[in-house]
Structure 1
Amino acid sequence: MIRRWWSAIRGLDRFTRILLFATCALAGIAIVTSIEIQSTQREIADISNYNLSYVYARNQVEILRLRAAIGDAMLEGGNPAAARLRWAIVKGRVSTIPAAYGPVAVPEAAAARRHLEETLDSIAPLLASLQDPGTGARALRRLDALADEFTRLTALTNVRQSSLTEREQALLAATMTWLSASILALCCIGLALLALVFRQKRHLKEMAATDVLTGLPNRVAINAWRPVNARSVAVALAVIDVDRFKEVNDTLGHASGDDLLRRLGSVLREEAGGDALAVRLGGDEFVVIFTGADAWKRVEGRTAAIEAGFRTACKDTEFAWATLSIGMALGQAATPADLEALITQADGAMYAAKRGGRQSRGAVAAREADAAKAPLAPEIDPSLNGGALVRRTG
């Protein structure tokens, strides 16, 4: 399976392979970038969903409440039980103080948690003798230092969390920009591939309608023929056949036969003119099609030029003795079927020319009810049955 795919890719031209590999690379980048965007969004959500600075601020508040309770207990008639209760509350919160949450790391919180626990353990014995001013003052000083530490921790955490959020948001924006650029590049490559497909399709269509040997259009061009505005037009055409072509192949070889046909194709391209359609019907048979009011005049003049050009093209070859037989037809055509009917008539005239002798041209014209739209050529006798006439030229 992979080998077949690789063989198919190697069969493509270099530009198409580059576009294909670029598409795969950009698609991979787009997938990875999308995953990174989702990961960054989750990190931003994690950072926003948990407020570490609030947690540290709550511990600071509890420390200040404990300090206030100790201060009240130091007064005459104060209640030491309230201080012990506040001490127990703060003690219970020590284990819940986090040092990190998600991508937010606060290593300073571990030190603050340790200092809090040490301070609470140191003031626990003092709670029983808070009436002594010296004892209470030592407890207050230790709690003041601890409260200052948690104040700094709260501010530090707030700055760090905000900076991390801003950094993640900037990373998200850059990643989304990169994703947008990748998608835009994919769209451009897609358009290029689409244009390439249409061009390839047009090329294949042209190849299907082109004769490989001579480079002229083939019968597909006849089937695709349509007059301008799809209206019936006057058509004059000439069917051209190489005399004794089989003899060329049999005596000189098929390579010589192919050379002869290529030379004839070149002559048709040069002498038929840009206003004519020259087609290889098959084998050694060709047709040249003219349209318009002066189509008959042009087909006569151009076929004479084709004969002269063919003689010149073959002059110095081993098949210089080869000649052409030409049959012509005149009529109205609006569809490929009409064109095929005229080709059939001209083909009959061409074979009549062969029977009449080599180096002769035959002419045939259709007897149509609307002959006024396509008047018969002066050389054709309308009294002939079917409008057929063989005219000697050589």
Structure 2
Amino acid sequence: MKLTKSNGSEEKPHVMWKGRKYALMPYLNGFRIRSRARGDEIDWKFTHMSADKAGREALKKFEERAEGVRPKRGTPTLEDLIAAYKEIPKRAGQAAEKQNIYCLRSVVRTALGKTLDKAFPQQIGPDLWAEFQKARLDGRLDYSTRRPGNAAINSTVRCAKSIFIPQLIADYAKKGIEIPANATVIKWLPEMALPKPKALGAALLAKWLSLPTGDPMRDAIGLGRFAGLRREEASACRRDWIVEDRGAVYVEMRDRPDQGFLTKTGEMYRALVVNDEFATELLAKPAGHIVTMPKRIRSRDEWFERKPQAWLKPFVGGAKKPFHRLRSLYADEVAEFTEEAVAARQAGIKAASKNLGHTNTATTKKSYLSGDTKPQKKGAA
């Protein structure tokens, strides 16, 4: 943070602030600094003074801007904003809300060294996000190089900035809280496209099979691994969600307001249970929650948040969300089933076509197979 001069035949004074150069341009016997960069718009004039003095004055302004204008007594803090955020009707569920708040606390603590009750909405903006990124990158902000940790940094910022999305601005204003117009202006770090951590599927299955039937851990892991349920869905799942249809067992996912449960997307679908042993166990369950908590467990949510994660860690290859990794394993298995089903159907079509004496499979599929949706034409083939 000092006034410097560039090398060359002419002296070109400028100020360095947080790794960026701001030129001091001659103006009315003094100097001027202008920036039109989005989120960094400034136009400061330092008339009738030397370059050294103009540079010092500019640094003072940068420091004041970084700290924010000293708020008046009674100005809402970020802690006040969080209280308002919790009350505002929004699309974010309780889990997402909790995660967003946690990430904002992390950003403000890392970037400003403050708790939310000591920071203010006016400090939310490009500088805050950049300072957090810089701190997480060990002091060197780099938007050109992909690094393994960039995705995690972006994820934290993305969650935190969700608190300031435009859809909530009017609600904050009603509570006397003003949000800067550039609050969600962020320059994202480049991310690497990395494969998902390799899971030890066979070892996980063996460990799961060793758990006794009815054990809450067996049921919780089973719902994630063999039905693809999210943690909150597994916690809420009840016996009346389990349906049997044509020999297959499903978990029927839909909004159930009478049970205080709403799906994440609002869509209704059936999640196929891909393990026959677990499917049989689900059908044998009594009414009530599938995962029953021992009497010594006080908080169902706290148990689901911690215990299955710890149990899964040795098997999910370092995944940051162990329970959610089960959802990926489930998706892989369902995709494999689908591929096998498609291959089997294609083989069956070819066999049927050959035995019907058709020269290609198009006629067979169009006019003879039961899966055809068009009416069969008379006299065809």
Give the TM-score category using the shorter length.
under 0.3
TM-score normalized with structure 2 length: 0.19
Instruction: Indicate the structure whose relative CO is greater, using CA pairs within 8 Å and at least 6 residues apart.
Output: 1
The structure having more radius of gyration, on CA atoms, is 1
TM-score normalized with structure 1 length: 0.18
